[in-house]
């Protein structure tokens, strides 16, 4: 597999950073990452895009009771008698291992957008007039990041472009930007899911809809089943 291909590197990196790349595939990616500059650049780009979302997570200061419990564990047996030095050494080794694991876990959490639930996946089925225009949209559980991936190699006609829309149950669709043909499209926007009943892709002029609403045919549509 040629990991230097930008589309492949971007797709794998997006799944890796979003946390949807799991199991053997994620372990293989971890192994390949140190030796593949294209993967490293893609991961850095995705983390740079998503890192601002973590700024909403407030830091938590440990209470005095927690620190007192740590001191008793490390330096005392609970009755005022100090622990033997060999027990303190074992505790320190264990504490160092736990601290390293905790730091690694924290680094992973900080690198990913907060997602207490799995991402929401919406399949956009093609209109019969454009049978090759199928997409899948992955939306983070907090509704602030979307990745749209093509399932086919649909290309609009010359001088035309694809545009992604959030379609509410009532009211006008909201533009989510142009869709890059043949590769993943990333959207970072707050409240992506608020009032959204479906996602749609339309064919528009090269620069996008001039009216703020779909003007061309809807070639792909996917309804959100449950939120």
On whether the CB atoms of residues 80 and 107 are closer than 8 A, the answer is no
Q: How confident is the model at residue 67 (pLDDT cuts 50, 70, 90)?
A: low
What is the average per-residue pLDDT within 81-85? 49
pLDDT at 218 over 80: yes
Q: Which tokens sit at 44?
A: 């850095």
Q: Which tokens sit at 62?
A: 């440990």
Q: How confident is the model at residue 106 (pLDDT cuts 50, 70, 90)?
A: very low
pLDDT of amino acid 158: 93
The arrangement of strands across the sheet holding 174-179 comes to 174-179, 160-168, 196-205, 218-223, 120-126, 135-139, 145-150, 185-188
Mean pLDDT score of the chain: 76
pLDDT tens for 147-203 read 999 988 899 999 999 999 999 988 899 999 999 888 889 998 888 888 999 999 999
pLDDT at 111 over 60: no
Q: Which residues contact 207 (CB under 8 A, 6 or more apart)?
A: 161
Q: Which of 53-62, 129-138, 180-189, 210-219 has the lowest mean pLDDT?
A: 53-62
pLDDT at 16 over 70: yes
63 or 140, greater pLDDT: 140
DSSP string computed for 64-77: HHHHHHHHHHHH--
86 or 154, greater pLDDT: 154
160 or 35, greater pLDDT: 160
DSSP string computed for 141-167: TTSSEEEEEESS---PPTTEEEEEEEE
Distances (CA, A) of 38 to 7, 13, 25: 10, 10, 17
Q: How confident is the model at residue 62 (pLDDT cuts 50, 70, 90)?
A: low
Q: How confident is the model at residue 11 (pLDDT cuts 50, 70, 90)?
A: confident
Taken in order 86, 87, 89, 90, is the CA torsion positive or negative?
positive
The whole-angstrom distance between residue 138's C-alpha and the CA centroid of its chain comes to 8
DSSP SS3 for 189: coil
pLDDT of amino acid 30: 84
Gap between the Cα atoms of 199 and 123, Å rounded: 9
pLDDT of amino acid 97: 46
């Amino acid at each position: 597999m040629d990991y230097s291909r930008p589309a492949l590197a971007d797709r794998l990196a997006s799944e890796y950073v979003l946390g949807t790349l799991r199991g053997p595939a994620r372990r293989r990616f971890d192994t390949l990452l140190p030796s593949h500059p294209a993967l490293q650049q893609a991961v850095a780009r995705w983390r740079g895009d998503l890192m601002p979302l973590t700024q909403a997570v407030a830091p938590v200061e440990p209470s005095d009771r927690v620190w007192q419990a740590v001191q008793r564990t490390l330096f005392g047996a609970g009755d005022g008698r100090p622990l033997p030095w060999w027990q303190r050494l074992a505790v320190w080794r264990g504490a160092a291992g736990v601290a390293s694991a905790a730091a690694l876990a924290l680094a992973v959490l900080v690198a990913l957008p907060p997602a207490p639930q799995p991402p929401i996946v919406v399949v956009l089925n093609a209109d019969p007039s454009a049978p090759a225009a199928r997409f899948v949209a992955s939306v983070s559980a907090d509704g602030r990041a979307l990745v749209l991936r093509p399932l086919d190699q649909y290309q609009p006609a010359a001088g035309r472009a694809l545009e992604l829309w959030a379609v509410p149950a009532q009211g006008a669709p909201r533009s989510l930007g142009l869709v890059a043909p043949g590769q993943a499209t990333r959207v970072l926007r707050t409240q992506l899911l608020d009032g959204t009943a479906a996602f749609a892709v339309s064919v528009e002029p090269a620069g996008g809809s001039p009216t703020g609403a779909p003007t061309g045919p809807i070639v792909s549509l996917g309804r959100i089943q449950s939120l």
